[in-house]
A and B are shown apart, each in its own frame.
Chain A
Amino acid sequence: MSVPMSGKPAPGGRPRAGLMLGLLGALLAASCLLSLCLGPRGIGLGTVFDALLRFDGSREHLLVVTLRLPRMLAAVLAGSALAVSGAIMQAVTGNPLASPGLLGINAGAAFAVVAVMTLTGGASGVPFLWAAFAGAGAAAVTVYLLGAVFSSVHAALGLVLSGAAIATFLTSLTSAVLIFDQSTLDAVRLWTAGSVSGRTLAEAVGTAPYIGLGLSLAFLLGRHLTVLSFGADAARALGQSPVFWRGAAILIVILLAGSAVALAGPIGFVGLIVPHIVRMLIGVDYRWILPFCAVGGALLVVAADCLGRSLLANQGFPVGVTIALIGAPFFIWLAHNRLRSTA
């Protein structure tokens, strides 16, 4: 008798999960194409393909390649990076509320970018990728340490309290800096709300290697996350060095969330809700959760961006706001229905 289990995925489970991942990928591809067609000037699918494959320098081709393609790429990159980093954080902390948004990592990256931008002058976060990493890292370490202090008050809430405090503090600091520096404010007003409009192809392509590296490392981490989520003692009892794997997980989170924020600003909710939706769909095997989050996060941001642009007929409308409109109700539902059992 051989019982299916997911050291190796269940024989029945793998094709089904694989099929679902394929389906989700197709949905993402469709949204990406829609994102390229959508705009004040609707462009047909044929023209979009021509622009991508046989670029002729026409006005429509230029629109697709210089405006819409970078925007779509930025949405894909930021969405997958944020969702995967949220999934990793939830596994490592064992806290269903953990996400780069709620735990202050996005706010840290955003503050560092705005601060450096104010000092040097600049128009988007991408040239300040390393500032974003530094800010994300500093916020992560502070939240973690402060969380350890708070956890003597309440174990499950300690980390979340600490994250909320740091996130609010850093967001206020960012606003303060922007109040005093009008020119930076004008440049990053949309970016601080989380926006993929106005990105250049160079910016998207420049961020891609970092997010690609972060995602690859995250997929390598997948099998180790389940053991990591048992907690430090039980993980060590199974032969896992918690310090090494925790450190690796946090570095990957900083790499992913930092890049995403530099590229698209601090988009909230993606890292929180996508991992929960994915777990409802396919269960708790992190080797599947992470790829699903990568595709699902990208899909959410691209689709939300399309939605915001078409409903409001405003090309500059920040996708961070659209996602907050979708994410906040979902978050309330989540807190009401699912967290009661775990908190």
Chain B
Amino acid sequence: MAEDERNLNDRQSGATKLAGVNLRLAYGPHSVVEGLDIALPARRFTALIGPNGSGKSTILRSLAGLMRPAGGTVLLDGRGIATLSTRALARQIGVLLQGPVAPEGLTVGDLVAQGRYPHRGLLSGWSAQDQAACDEALRLTGTGHLADRALDSLSGGQRQRAWIAMTLAQRSEVILLDEPTTYLDLEHQIELMNLIRTLVRDHGKTVVAVLHDINQAARYADHIVLLKAGRRVASGPPAQVISARAIEEVFQVRSMIIEDPVAGTPLCIPLAHESERDRRPSQRET
């Protein structure tokens, strides 16, 4: 039975692409994450979910190799990422953090071209492959018509798509996104979710995103990791992870879980907030 479960797991979630083993993540003496094991399946869309201060962004940074774990290791295809050079890592893992800034006046086309940085040698020129990667990234994100526009003249949503295009131009197998839907209106949120789906299904990418909206995650992600105070509370396919008990444990919100009438995925409907008792610990986290 255990073997059946593993087979099922493999078929549903793919083999592990990126993993954190016994991770301890700390800013100075202050530990944010302790003893975390996390496995992200290959060629799947994984959503990291949790309240503010649950360590989602910190975990994403460590998975991207931007933050050195105080303990434990991050494995990419079973190999420690600490052994890879910054450049080699950037060819395999692309990451878009929150609130990226670019020099004033930089055009979308110029920004996307920077995504080719890890693929270019010190003196080598711009190759046809570089151009193809940028064209594809602009096409996939629908930003081709903005290529000559300055980034700071665009709306928040357009700007976010341009940054995603830059990350796509990197052509890494793994793409990590920290709250990519934050500045997007509903239409562009759905567009982005569909884009992630396309990247996973048609381009074989492994996408990991920190998301705020539980229902969006439940609807679009193949795999959900539920986090609380740097701890993994649950992980697996949405139908397994999203339960009233898990939501209450993580968010201190009572809810009802019904089946999404359109997608058939779990849909979380919050009920009342249990205020005083549970507020205190969540304030301490932040």
Contact = CB atoms under 8 A, between A and B. Distances in A.
B130 A7 contact: yes
Interface residues of A, number: 31
B113 A6 contact: yes
A3 B64 contact: no
Main SS of chain A's interface residues?
A: loop
A2 B113 CA distance: 13
A226 B106 contact: yes
B113 A238 contact: no
Interface stretch (A126-134, A137-145, A279-287, A303-311): A279-287
B109 A8 contact: no
B101 A240 contact: no
A156 to B, nearest CB: 11
Nearest to A282: B105
A237 B100 CA distance: 11
B138 A230 contact: no
B135 interface: yes
Given A236-B66, A238-B115, A240-B117, A91 B97 contact: no
A6 B101 contact: no
Contacts of B170: 238
Given A279-B105, A284-B104, A4 B148 contact: yes
Q: How large is the interface on B (under 10, 10 to 19, 20 to 34, 35 or more residues)?
A: 35 or more
Nearest to B176: A237
Given A226-B103, A230-B100, A230-B102, A238 B114 contact: yes
B43 interface: no
A1 B144 contact: yes
B28 interface: no
Contact of B114 (A2, A4, A226, A283): A226
B90 A230 contact: no
A236 B86 contact: yes
Interface in B140-188: 144, 147-148, 152, 170
Contacts of B97: 233-234, 237
B125 A239 contact: no
Given A1-B135, A7-B126, A7-B130, A234 B100 contact: yes
Nearest to B118: A239
Contacts of B96: 237
- Please give me the 6 A-B residue pairs with the lowest Cβ-Cβ distance, nearest first: A239-B90, A239-B118, A5-B109, A7-B113, A8-B126, A239-B87
